[in-house]
């Protein structure tokens, strides 16, 4: 506490995955526009890109808060009103 971190420490843990990430995101963006939005949502694509990218993430994502979302059921459900803080959020 109280000590400013060195600048080099702001370089991020997932940077080694940047190439795999771009490959996956490019594939996803294409699938999203050309298939998913046109009603062809029966089949997932970009599976191999996704697996390589995730494997990299699981090795480099050292933040525990984030890595739990990598688990199979780690879909965050922030829409769920039970988990939402918005109802208390009226200005006082």
Partner 1 sequence: MVRAYSQEHVYKHPWERVTAASWRKFADPENKRTLSHILEVDTLNRKLDSNSGKLYTTRAITIHAPGPWFIRRIIGQDICHCVESTVVDANSRSMQLATRNISLQKFIEVEEKIRYDPHPENPTEWTTCKQETSIRIKPLSALASMAEKIEQKCVDRFQQNSAKGREVMERICKYLEAESSGIPI
Q: Does 92 bind partner 1 (CB under 8 A)?
A: yes
Q: Could you say whether residue 51 binds partner 1 (CB under 8 A)?
A: no
What 3-state class would DSSP assign to 4?
coil
What's the gap between Cα 25 and its chain centre?
11
Q: Is the Cβ–Cβ distance between 27 and 49 less than 8 Å?
A: yes
Cα-Cα end-to-end distance for the chain:
32
Quick one: which of 6, 39, 62, 82 contacts partner 1 (CB under 8 A)?
A: 39
DSSP strand E in 1-92: where?
none
Q: Which residue of 19, 41, 51, 55 would you call a contact of partner 1, by CB under 8 A? A: 41
Smallest separation, CB 82 to partner 1 (Å): 13
Two tokens, residue 20: 């795999």
CB of 48 vs partner 1, minimal distance in Å: 14
Residue 52 in the binding site for partner 1 (CB under 8 A): no
Q: How far is the CB of 52 from partner 1 (least distance, A)?
A: 13
């Amino acid at each position: 506490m109280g000590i400013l971190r060195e600048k080099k420490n702001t370089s991020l843990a997932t940077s080694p995955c940047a190439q795999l990430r771009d490959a996956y995101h490019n594939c996803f963006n294409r699938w999203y526009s050309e298939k998913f939005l046109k009603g062809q949502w029966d089949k997932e694509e970009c599976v191999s890109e996704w697996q390589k990218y995730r494997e990299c993430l699981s090795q480099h994502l050292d933040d525990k808060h984030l890595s739990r979302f990598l688990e199979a059921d780690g879909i965050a459900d922030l829409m769920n009103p039970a988990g939402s803080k918005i109802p208390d959020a009226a200005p006082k």
